[in-house]
Amino acid sequence: MTSFNDQLFDRAQLCIPGGVNSPVRAFRAVGGAPRFLERGAGPRVWDVDGREYIDYVCSWGPLLHGHAHPAVIEAVREVAGKGLSFGAPTALEIELAELVCRLMPSIEQVRLTSSGTEATMSAIRLARGFTGRSKIVKFDGCYHGHGDALLVKAGSGALTFGQPDSSGVPAELAAHTIVLNYNDIPQLEALFAQAGDTIAAVIVEPVAGNMNMVLPQPEFLTRLRQLTEAHGALLIFDEVMTGFRVALGGAQSIYGICPDLTTLGKVIGGGMPLAAFGGRRDVMQYLAPLGPVYQAGTLSGNPVAVTAGLANLKLAMEPGLYERLGEMTRAVTEGIVRIGQEHGFALSTCSLGGMFGIYFREALPTNLGEVLTSNKERFKHFFHGMLDAGVYLAPSAFEAGFVSSVHGTTELEQTLDAARTVFRHLD
């Protein structure tokens, strides 16, 4: 008998391309039908067939405090009763902007948007307008949203301009984007020696979270900061994923780097559509209505989304929260890897705050090429085994995972018990 979940997927495919409204939700990388979720509470979710899962996706990062946290829900309920949108300023926007600027000292001014893609796209436009240059640099495997200039993969050789990574992106536009290998300092130095004075900005995930999770090597971010400063290019930290997720001050506070611009999303919205970009005052004042760089959004600073973000961030300011979050994340991931290794499987893991990566390879990867050598077939079987055992992981070997502040000892023990069962039967 066909499950209700499968019936919904059949219906969805008739009216929604691929049956999903974001490709990352599809199960194409692992096979099968995506789970249609009905509700969530704390660290758990339930699908439309009533199956319960421990959730390590957390809406792809925003749910730092789990699903339906009472403080967030109550704040949203109260403000929603006053109106959903005004298209005019509210005091809530100022409160959130002030809090972001206080928590991230590199941000002197901030502009709210509705999505991470909008934030990164706008930051790139601002960098080009401020510097008067056209070329930007990104790193292979880092994802910065689906803006045309950023959907670019590496060219055929080092120091070449990128090639479109999606149909519909003109080659002429992609030609303004240079793609380098993540963590490759010699390649970075060679590029700046050759063309540094033509580069408007370098955009980077300080901790890569879209090729699974890859940590920056020692000196990579430091050298990046030195080279951009020396050549008058702006450094943009894409902290849509890492901002308030790996630390209260983001990855930049962990590595001690002060970027010119920062993009934020996910946690800043607490599960609602909200993102932001901000940075140096002199750069941000190039934005309209003060400056010549245009950026706008009807729902930017939506009061309901801002309220959810404020509640989420205020909860994150609890003393010791990130230390406890990091301990739980390490306990989960290192426990899974240890169990897998005891059963003879090559595994490695890394984590930072409430963000983690698990790889079916012996050594931690440092770039996309190494990530691609992971055993994807083995991950596929592991994923479905854990799903059947009630543990919901990202449906791809190339996506980071997330732990919330409300994952506890019970979830840890159930997750490791599931891993023992799965690895016992894994080919």
404-413 tens-digit pLDDT: 999 999 999 9
Residue with tokens 């999903």: 20
Tell me: pLDDT of 391 over 90: yes
Provide, rounded to the nearest whole percent, the portion of the chain with pLDDT above 90: 92
Q: What is the DSSP string of 248-307?
A: TTHHHHHHT---SEEEE-GGGGTTSS-EEEEE-HHHHTTBTTTSSB----TTTT-HHHHH
Provide, rounded to the nearest whole percent, the portion of the chain with pLDDT above 70: 98
Residue type, 11: R
Do 212 and 252 belong together in one domain? yes
Average pLDDT (70-78) is: 98
Tell me: pLDDT of 390 over 60: yes
Which of these three, 289, 316, 343, is where a domain ends?
A: 316
Tell me: pLDDT of 41 over 90: yes
- Going by the DSSP 8-state scheme, the letter that residue 232 receives in this structure is T
Active site residues: 143, 238, 266
- Could you tell me the two tokens for 127? 């960098």
pLDDT in tens, 236-283: 999 999 999 999 999 999 999 999 999 999 999 999 999 999 999 999
Confidence of residue 168 (pLDDT cuts 50, 70, 90): confident
Average pLDDT (148-164) is: 62
Distance CA(128)–CA(124), nearest Å, equals 6
Do 293 and 252 belong together in one domain? yes
Residue-number span of the structural domain to which 171 is assigned: 70-316
Tell me: pLDDT of 160 over 50: no
Residue with tokens 């205020």: 314
Do 9 and 149 belong together in one domain? no
Average pLDDT (158-162) is: 47
Q: How many CA atoms does the CB half-sphere of 182 hold within 13 Å?
A: 27
Beta strands in 44-113 (DSSP E): 44-47, 52-55, 109-113
Tell me: pLDDT of 158 over 50: no
Residue with tokens 């989304």: 305
Do 127 and 174 belong together in one domain? yes
pLDDT in tens, 199-244: 999 999 999 999 999 999 989 999 999 999 999 999 999 999 999 9
Residue type, 292: P
- Output the average pLDDT for the chain: 95
Do 58 and 76 belong together in one domain? no
Average pLDDT (117-132) is: 98
Q: Report the pLDDT value the prediction gives residue 153, as an integer from 0 to 100.
A: 76
Confidence of residue 1 (pLDDT cuts 50, 70, 90): confident
Distance CA(172)–CA(164), nearest Å, equals 9
Do 133 and 250 belong together in one domain? yes
Strands 348-352 and 37-41: unpaired
Do 309 and 345 belong together in one domain? no
Do 50 and 80 belong together in one domain? no
Confidence of residue 154 (pLDDT cuts 50, 70, 90): low
Distance CA(209)–CA(197), nearest Å, equals 29
Q: Report the pLDDT value the prediction gives residue 163, as an integer from 0 to 100.
A: 67
Tell me: pLDDT of 157 over 60: no
Which of these three, 253, 288, 316, is where a domain ends?
A: 316
Adjacent-strand bridge partners of 164: 152
Helix, strand or coil, per DSSP, at residue 421: helix
How many structural domains is the chain composed of? 2
CATH number at residue 159: 3.40.640.10
Do 235 and 360 belong together in one domain? no
Do 289 and 325 belong together in one domain? no
- Could you tell me the two tokens for 46? 């339930």
Among residues 209, 206, 230, 234, the alpha carbon closest in space to that of 220 is found at: 206
- Going by the DSSP 8-state scheme, the letter that residue 34 receives in this structure is P
Do 353 and 376 belong together in one domain? yes
Phi, psi torsion values for 109, nearest 5 degrees: -140, 155
Q: Report the pLDDT value the prediction gives residue 273, as an integer from 0 to 100.
A: 97
Distance CA(341)–CA(362), nearest Å, equals 10
pLDDT in tens, 94-112: 999 999 999 999 999 999 9
Average pLDDT (328-336) is: 98
The H or E element containing residue 183 is: none
Average pLDDT (165-193) is: 90
Tell me: pLDDT of 348 over 80: yes
CATH number at residue 329: 3.90.1150.10
- Could you tell me the two tokens for 53? 């899962």
Q: What is the DSSP string of 329-363?
A: HHHHHHHHHHHHHHTT---EEEEETTEEEEESSSS
Do 274 and 408 belong together in one domain? no
Distance CA(132)–CA(278), nearest Å, equals 19
pLDDT in tens, 276-324: 999 999 999 999 999 999 999 999 999 999 999 999 999 999 999 999 9
Tell me: pLDDT of 5 over 50: yes
**287 within 8 A of 112, measured Cβ to Cβ:** no
Which of these three, 316, 346, 367, is where a domain ends?
A: 316
Distance CA(346)–CA(122), nearest Å, equals 41
